Amino acid sequence: GEVESPTAGADVAVIGGVIAAVVFVLICLLVVMVRYLYRHKGTYHTNEAKGTEFAESADAALKNDPALQEAVDESKKEYFI
């Protein structure tokens, strides 16, 4: 027979512990990522004027926007696409 050294069992235990720790850390990261993605779902915000989705044209939407009331000049109209 082959004689086992007394440190062989300790080496296997250390390797098993390291692998278990890595797996535990990866599972924790996965849980944190899934929780973050779930809680931040649908938080896309736009800077569009309120109430413009029901306007019949771009002119009507700009005229009804209270933030742009004094800035809109009827003689100079510019549209950015």
The confidence score (pLDDT) of residue 38 equals: 85
User: What digits encode the pLDDT tens for the residues 53-75?
Assistant: 666 666 666 666 666 555 555 66
* 66 inside domain: no
* 63 inside domain: no
Q: Which residues contact 64 (CB under 8 A, 6 or more apart)?
A: 49, 51, 52, 55
* 62 inside domain: no
The confidence score (pLDDT) of residue 7 equals: 72
CA 2 to chain centre: 57
- State the total domains in the chain: 1
End-to-end Cα separation, the chain, in angstroms: 83
Q: Can you give the C-alpha Rg of the chain in angstroms?
A: 32
Q: What is the dihedral of CA 65, 71, 75, 76, to 10 degrees?
A: -100
pTM score, two decimals?
0.44
* 22 inside domain: yes
* 71 inside domain: no
* 12 inside domain: yes
Q: How far apart are CA 25 and CA 58, in angstroms?
A: 53
| Spans in the chain with pLDDT lower than 50 | none
Q: How far apart are CA 19 and CA 55, in angstroms?
A: 61
The confidence score (pLDDT) of residue 8 equals: 72
* 81 inside domain: no
